[in-house]
A = this chain, B = another copy of it.
Amino acid sequence: MDLQIDAASAIPIYAQVVDQVKSLIASRALRAGEQLPSVRELASDLRINRNTAARAYQMLENDGVIETRHGQGCFVAAGAPRWSREERIRRLEKALDRALVEAFHLEVPMEEVPALLERRIRLMTRRAGPARRP
């Protein structure tokens, strides 16, 4: 499960985990019944505290997004919400807009942003492996 945590962000780590897992499920990267990494595994993967990871899973369970089966682990719940392609594009556009607002205030010319984005995509896909879901 590929999550990216920003320790310096004003958004608490547990909330970052919750949001990103919800996105993975809502966009069907994670499917109903699929098993999630254990709390310990997640904590060690993300280098966060076990309590923090456990809290994130508890929030997700409270929201009905995942289910805990005692002694077996955590699984994506059957009734977890799904987003349409339109909804997912809309959300991505909001994220891109946030980056553009940042570019404006940092006085980086708009014309330079696409090249920067391409560079970050190359870096990110190289790191994650070129073929994402073969």
Using a CB–CB distance below 8 Å, which chain A residues touch chain B? 2, 4, 6-7, 10-15, 19-20, 22-29, 49, 62-63, 65, 70-71, 79-85, 87-89, 91-108, 110, 113-114, 116-118, 120-121, 124-125, 128, 132
Instruction: Report whether over half of chain A's contact residues are helix, strand or loop; otherwise say mixed.
Output: helix
Task: Please tell me how many copies of the chain the complex holds.
Answer: 4
Q: Known: A7-B70, A62-B62. Is A116-B102 also a contact (CB below 8 A)?
A: no
What separation, in Å, do the CA atoms of A97 and B20 have in the docked complex? 12
What separation, in Å, do the CA atoms of A108 and B94 have in the docked complex? 14
What residues on B are CB-neighbors of A83 within 8 Å?
Answer: 82-84, 87, 106
- Asked if B107 contacts A22 (CB within 8 A), the reply is no
